[in-house]
Amino acid sequence: MAQTVHAAVLVKPKTLVAQEFARPTIGPDDALLRIEACGICGSDYEQYEGAQPVHEDYTPYPVIPGHEPLGVIEEIGARARQRWSVREGDRVAVRSGYGCGRCEACARWEPRACPKRGGTYGYTDVGKPPHLWGGYAEHMYLSPYSVLKKMDPRIPAGVAVMFNPLAAGLSWAGSVPGTGPGDRVVILGAGQRGLCCVIAARAAGARQIVITGLSRDAQKLALARELGADVTVNAETEDVVARVREVTGGGAEVVVDTTPYAPQSLNHAVAIAVRRGRIVVAGLKGQRPTRELQADDVIYKELSIRGVLSMPVDVTFRAIELIESGRYPFEKMHTYSLPLEQAEDAIRTLAGEVPGVNPIHLAIVPGAPRVSLRR
């Protein structure tokens, strides 16, 4: 058994460094996870770029990134085994937040509501023992107050690790806006979470689903139709607001903005929403302000605008069960599995910085073969 663990450490913006750490000693209440895959999302790119705000949810550098871990329990204490109902060899999906273990929120296993904010995997200072607090590593330490769930080991790791973006979709396009039969739903952005919003809206019984994307997103928009979208709109060649109003017959009851680094998309959402519409804002804008927002429209239409950052535990568990059901072709959404040493390539690829490559979903998989991304 190796006594050291390899990890990719973000020591400062745009600087990932390979480092080794001592394998932690596991006590009766905690565990060690062997990472099978760690999903990558837009916030990884913002963390890498240094574009995230100074906020209690984010910690200073250096950190081991990676807040979407999937892995196998390699070592676990006796009390942890009983508390989580898992044992060595079980595959588990891990929630990004871990709690303090002493409050009412932690008692109901909702660490995101923990007032003491125990921490977040991928955003915990690497100097905090036992150091392995992120998924860009061979192993990750599991705090006693983590939330996890067993997952079918037969599902390919790159597909299984999509539980996080799917949970986001189920929350943002389903439970948060209260989507139901009769609702028209417009999803701005055709990335991994936008596509998962299509699944969620269809599952909620929406009567019409429209999704927008860019010219380079033709393959993603085609998949969106396969997943249940009725109409796709090219935001580069069409007037988004005019086109959406045309195809929906006047607008939508629910608008979900998943577009990253596109602050003006909120203006589109306000213009698209019908009276008493619900707008969900999920795509981080990299601290870029939205300009010329028509606030009077928000008032006259009596719109509800909700920002979202995470999702409830029960929705995460529902996403895991949905992936296990095999009802949707999630394998078509997973584009590449890249080894730990290509973590920087993975981040830049998902951000669209590699010419000719436009992935939907990427994952860091320790030990995976190197991937040639240049075309």
CA 261 to chain CA mean position, Å:
16
What does the pLDDT read at residue 116? Answer: 66
Residue range 301-330, pLDDT digits in tens:
999 999 998 888 999 999 999 999 999 999
Residue range 211-238, pLDDT digits in tens:
999 999 999 999 999 999 999 999 999 9
Average pLDDT, the chain: 92
pLDDT band at residue 107 using 50, 70 and 90 as cut-offs: confident
Residue range 67-94, pLDDT digits in tens:
999 999 999 999 999 999 999 999 999 9
DSSP per-residue letters across 76-122: E-HHHHHHHT--TT-EEEE-SEE--SSSHHHHTT-GGG-TT--EETT
- pTM of the predicted protein model: 0.92
Return the number of other C-beta atoms located less than 10 Å from residue 162's C-beta. Answer: 30
What does the pLDDT read at residue 54? Answer: 46
Residue 61 has pLDDT above 80, yes or no: yes
Strand partners, 232: 211
What does the pLDDT read at residue 21? Answer: 97
Distance CA 41, CA 191 (A): 10
What does the pLDDT read at residue 330? Answer: 94
- Identify which of 80, 65, 85, 98 has the alpha carbon closest to the alpha carbon of residue 32: 80
Q: What is the mean pLDDT of residues 12-28?
A: 96
